[in-house]
């Protein structure tokens, strides 16, 4: 395998390209595509299909199955689920053939190419299952950001292995892609209170609701308190507005589950609430080891509604079941929160970019609530004059916390740098690179977003820093750096 050398970093010839053939199915309702101000055309489409002859139904269904069955794991089940959405519109006294029901489901199904426009911004963590991995090697999970029609982003996964020499290979993904089943999870009073305060809805009505709830509660518990509040509106003039805000925050708590037989590279985390309808962006995964030795995988990501951004926290232990909950507070007000892989001094810690242009550091006693951040690193070099941020969770080394950074410079060029923070006081910078570790080389300048190399999380194995990075939002590359050489190259801060 050939490689290109740029200072400390060695670029692998491996490229993971966007695959427009990776598609998921969605319920399609004609007239409700989001740009038409009219009633849906469900009724007229339904009547047309009911009017088809049995022969036409059979021929049309056979054509659909022939063209699409190989693209999806369970096309039959997809069509049946979507047909069930029409049950309330059907005459209960009319018996439909199985073929006609299936064709109805097909008519109200569409495909979405999750990587149709771009693939980028990976993060990498050790796989929770190292069974049958060769001695000295490490199996990993790589999250990827797929971008499709309308610039809508979702989170996908790849797997691979880093061998005993620090060389990374990526497994071929399975041919299917599938979204999980969305459900509910417990709600957290602390997150509600902080977010209500930010939106200027903290007050008597909010206190009435949450003073009657435990620290964690169910959606049913919340609904009961809100219904109770509605019976007491006469002396609470703005309570209806507060109720609406509370319901909006509640929507940001949800769970996702995939069947056991769906491979990890098949799983797609798809926008599941209003706050992220335009995308789930730049997940930064971290393997978090708590003080009791328990291991949880967390990922911070940006939820984009199409006009507003907010931050969410994913949690999983097996990459099969996930929860997503809001991140709130001033330090979580912008993109790019990245969790440290363990507590520091008994508290959670995270890199933040709450002011949009410098690297700051926050501490929290509650994983969802980040109220403040302290200065850590400001732009000083020409390649970072526009802004700084992190390129994923800090990595613990004997010398300190290694943080990959991104700097934005002239011509909006994104480069990857590095700093070293004190293990016990990570607000203290021990060293930094004066020049980028990675900048776009000539064959990395063109793409969906030109002049960008960007990572959401690297991994150290075999004394090698392995950096998966997005190339102009069009492909993903992998670079390796000898860890001792990188630590030696960091300019010591006085």
Return the closest-CA partner of residue 162 out of 462, 472, 492. 462
R_g of the chain computed on alpha carbons: 25
- CA dist., res. 239 & res. 233, Å (int): 7
- Residue written as tokens 């001695």? 135
Per residue in 181-229, pLDDT (tens digit) is 999 999 999 999 999 999 999 889 999 999 999 999 999 999 999 999 9
Distance (Å) of CA 365 to CA 174, 362, 376: 40, 10, 20
In 3D space, the residue among 271, 233, 225 whose CA is nearest the CA of residue 251 turns out to be 271
- Give 35's pLDDT tier (boundaries 50, 70, 90): low
Given a cut of 80, whether residue 4 has pLDDT beyond it is no
Query: In angstroms, rounded to a whole number, what is the distance separating the alpha carbons of residues 444 and 231?
Result: 61
Nearest to 459 by CA among 163, 16, 156, 145: 163
Output the CA torsion sign for 198, 200, 206, 211.
positive
Q: Are 149 and 116 in contact (CB under 8 A)?
A: yes
Q: The tokens 């964690």 sit on which residue?
A: 216
For 350-400, write each residue's pLDDT tens digit: 999 888 899 999 999 999 999 999 999 999 999 999 999 999 999 999 999
- Is residue 240 within 8 A of residue 317, CB to CB? The reply is no
pLDDT of residue 492: 82
pLDDT digit string, tens, across residues 347-357: 999 999 888 89
Q: Are 149 and 176 in contact (CB under 8 A)?
A: no
Residue 438 DSSP one-character state = B
Q: Which residues pair with 480 in a beta bridge?
A: 10, 466
Q: How far apart are the C-alpha atoms of 348 and 33, rounded to whole Å?
A: 42
Contact 320, 257 (CB under 8 A): yes
**Most confident of the following: 228-237, 327-336, 361-370:** 361-370
> In which band, very low, low, confident or very high, does the pLDDT at 109 lie, cut at 50, 70 and 90?
very high
Supply 14's token pair.
């491996």
pLDDT tens across 49-77, in order? 999 999 999 999 999 999 999 999 999 99
CATH 2.115.10.20 boundaries in the chain: 3-20+114-182+253-492
Give 3-20+114-182+253-492's CATH code, choosing from 2.115.10.20, 3.30.70.120, 3.40.640.10, 3.90.700.10. Answer: 2.115.10.20
**Confidence at residue 236, expressed as pLDDT on a 0 to 100 scale:** 77
Q: Across residues 340-349, what is the average pLDDT? A: 97
Confidence of residue 95 (pLDDT cuts 50, 70, 90): confident
The Cα-based distances of 471 to 121, 145, 150, 335 in angstroms read 8, 12, 20, 19
463-478 burial: b if 16+ Cβ within 10 Å, else e: ebbbbbbbbbbbbbbb
| Share of residues in the chain with pLDDT > 70 (%) | 97
Residue 117 pLDDT greater than 50, yes or no: yes
pLDDT grade for 33, boundaries at 50, 70 and 90: low
The DSSP secondary structure of 90-151, one letter per residue, reads S-TTPPPPHHHHHHHHHHTEEEEETTSSEEEEEEEEE-S--TTPPTT-EEEEEEEEEE-GGG
Tokens of 411: 């011509």
With both helix axes pointing from N to C terminus, report the angle between 239-250 and 189-198 in degrees, rounded to the nearest 10.
Answer: 130
Structure tokens at 148: 């499709």
Greatest extent of the chain over all pairs of C-alpha atoms, in Å: 83
- Per DSSP, 34 falls in state S
Q: Are 84 and 102 in contact (CB under 8 A)?
A: no
> Considering Cα of 60, then 63, then 67, then 73, what sign does the dihedral take?
positive
Q: Answer yes or no: is pLDDT of 401 > 80.
A: yes
Is residue 388 within 8 Å of 378, Cβ to Cβ? yes
The pLDDT of 388-417, averaged and rounded, is: 97
Task: Look at the alpha carbons of 125, 128, 129, 130 in this order and tell me if their dihedral is positive or negative.
Answer: positive
Task: Report pLDDT for 2.
Answer: 39
**pLDDT (tens digit per residue) in 296-318:** 999 999 999 999 999 999 999 99
For residue 308, count CB atoms less than 10 angstroms from its CB and return exposed for 0-12, middle for 13-18, buried for 19 or more. exposed
Q: And the tokens for 12?
A: 């692998």
Q: What is the pLDDT of residue 251?
A: 97
| pLDDT of the residue at 43 | 87
pLDDT of residue 364: 97
More confident residue, 140 or 87: 140
Task: Please state, as a whole number, how many other Cβ atoms lie within 10 Å of the Cβ of residue 194.
Answer: 24
pLDDT in tens, 433-470: 999 999 999 999 999 999 999 999 999 999 999 999 99
Average pLDDT of the chain, as a whole number: 94
For residue range 146-188, what is the model confidence (pLDDT) as tens digits? Answer: 999 999 999 999 999 999 999 999 999 999 999 999 999 999 9
């Amino acid at each position: 395998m050939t490689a290109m050398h740029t200072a400390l970093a060695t670029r692998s010839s491996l490229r993971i390209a966007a695959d427009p053939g990776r598609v998921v199915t969605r319920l399609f309702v004609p007239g409700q595509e989001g740009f038409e101000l009219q009633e849906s055309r469900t009724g007229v489409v339904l009547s047309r299909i009911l009017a088809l002859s049995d022969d036409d139904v059979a021929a049309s269904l056979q054509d659909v199955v022939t063209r699409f069955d190989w693209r999806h794991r369970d096309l039959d089940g997809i069509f049946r689920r979507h047909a069930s959405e029409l049950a309330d519109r059907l005459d209960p006294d009319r018996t439909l053939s199985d073929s006609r029901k299936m064709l109805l489901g097909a008519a109200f199904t569409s495909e979405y190419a999750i990587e149709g426009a771009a693939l980028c911004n990976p993060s990498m963590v050790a796989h929770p299952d190292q069974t049958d991995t060769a001695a000295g090697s490490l199996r990993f999970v790589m999250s990827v950001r797929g971008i499709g029609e309308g610039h809508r982003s979702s989170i996908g996964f790849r797997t691979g292995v880093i061998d005993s020499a620090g060389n990374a290979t990526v497994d071929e993904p399975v041919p299917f892609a599938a979204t999980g089943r969305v459900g509910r999870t417990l709600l957290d009073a602390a997150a509600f209170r902080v977010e209500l305060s930010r939106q200027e809805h903290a007050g008597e009505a909010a206190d009435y609701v949450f003073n009657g709830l435990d620290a964690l509660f169910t959606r049913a518990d919340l609904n009961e308190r809100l219904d109770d509040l509605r019976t007491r509106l006469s002396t609470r003039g703005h309570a209806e507005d507060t109720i609406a805000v509370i319901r909006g925050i509640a929507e940001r708590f949800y769970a996702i589950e995939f069947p056991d037989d769906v491979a990890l590279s098949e799983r797609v985390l798809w926008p599941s609430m209003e706050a992220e309808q335009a995308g789930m962006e730049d997940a930064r995964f971290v393997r978090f080891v708590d003080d009791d030795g328990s291991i949880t995988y967390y990922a911070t990501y940006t939820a984009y509604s199409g006009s507003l951004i907010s931050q969410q926290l994913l949690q999983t232990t097996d990459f099969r079941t996930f929860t997503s909950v809001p991140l709130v507070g001033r330090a979580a007000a912008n993109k790019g929160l990245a969790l440290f892989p363990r507590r520091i001094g008994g508290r959670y810690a995270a890199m933040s970019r709450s002011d949009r242009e410098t690297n700051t550091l926050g501490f929290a006693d509650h994983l969802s609530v980040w109220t403040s951040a302290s200065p850590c690193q400001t732009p000083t070099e020409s390649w970072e004059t526009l802004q700084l941020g992190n390129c994923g969770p800090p990595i613990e080394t004997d010398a300190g916390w290694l943080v990959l950074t991104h700097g934005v410079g002239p011509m909006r060029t994104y480069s990857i740098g590095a700093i070293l923070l004190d293990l016990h006081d990570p607000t203290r910078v021990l060293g930094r690179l004066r020049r980028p570790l990675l900048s776009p080389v000539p064959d990395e300048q063109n793409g969906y977003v030109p002049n960008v190399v960007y990572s959401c999380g690297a991994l150290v194995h075999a004394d090698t820093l392995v950096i998966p990075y997005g190339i102009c939002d069009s492909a993903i590359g992998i670079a390796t750096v000898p860890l001792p050489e990188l630590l030696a190259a960091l300019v010591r801060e006085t």
